[in-house]
Amino acid sequence: MHYAIIAAGQGSRLRNEGIDTPKPLVRLGGVTLLERLIGIFRSRPDCEAVSVIINPEVQAFAEASDSPLPWAGADNLVVASTPGSMHSLHRLSPLLRATGPRFCLTTVDTVFHPAEFDAYLDAMHADTQADGYMAVTTYIDDEKPLYITISTPAESMITGFFDTPLPDARHVSGGIYALPVSSLDILDDCMAAGETRMRDFQRALVAAGMRLRAYNFSRIIDIDHASDIPKALSLLSI
């Protein structure tokens, strides 16, 4: 499995709240968000490679500090400024295509319990019907959640992604994606069409007929605000 981390965002909301450290270098329990994810991925027996995209500001900040570079455990590093997560994935896609047949992607600010993550990947590997696995949660603590509808609770195949809640949409996207390399062809189409958001890519996957199974996590925390840091620490202490 090729693991990938999108860490090229600006973290402007954290900066506006007084946290000057770039988001990938924010620490939880003494470990940066980026180091934490690389460590989780590296601990997986299926890990073949870890790729990371950061922006030049993150690189300059880390190199000016006395601490070790947090991407030292990554196999591939891309340094680039991008307008959004979908464009960051597109910059990583040549690396992901080179290993195949699947990859697991997350953004750097996504915090989850490692035991749930292991169960999620193990279930994906054992599943012979789904094309991909999308992490979801019923814990909604996001400014702009992406709501998900599924076929049936037993089957849990994703039928749609929505910006607004629907009566039958109990889950939201958790920002962790385990997908086949063939999904990157759909990403190319999205880029050619001028799409800009990861949620547009996810909608395109469903529209293309890709069978995506929703896998529920008890909680997933996105580090968007300073107040999210103690929530994430609470989650990891369970």
* Model pLDDT, residue 193: 95
Range in 90-99, 108-117, 136-145 with the lowest mean pLDDT: 136-145
Q: For residue 182, with 0-12 CB atoms within 10 Å meaning exposed, 13-18 middle and 19 or more buried, which class applies?
A: middle
* Model pLDDT, residue 16: 76
Distances (CA, A) of 123 to 74, 120, 133, 176, 178: 25, 5, 9, 14, 11
* Model pLDDT, residue 68: 79
- pLDDT, tens digit (0-9, with 9 covering 90-100), for 149-174: 999 989 999 999 999 988 888 899 99
Highest mean pLDDT among 169-173, 187-191, 223-227: 187-191
**Tokens representing residue 188 in the block:** 């190319």
**What is the torsion angle, in degrees rounded to the nearest 10, for the CA atoms of residue 25, residue 27, residue 32 and residue 37?**
-120
- Closest by CA to 1, choosing from 120, 136, 172, 156, is 120
Residue 11 has pLDDT above 70, yes or no: no
Rg of the chain over all Cα atoms, to the nearest angstrom: 17
* Model pLDDT, residue 10: 67
Asked if 26 and 7 count as a contact pair (C-beta separation under 8 A), the reply is no
Asked if 160 and 149 count as a contact pair (C-beta separation under 8 A), the reply is yes
Distances (CA, A) of 19 to 23, 165, 210, 230: 9, 32, 40, 14
Average pLDDT over the chain reads 93
- pLDDT, tens digit (0-9, with 9 covering 90-100), for 113-138: 999 999 999 999 999 999 999 999 99
* Model pLDDT, residue 13: 78
Query: pLDDT band for position 190 (50/70/90)?
Result: very high
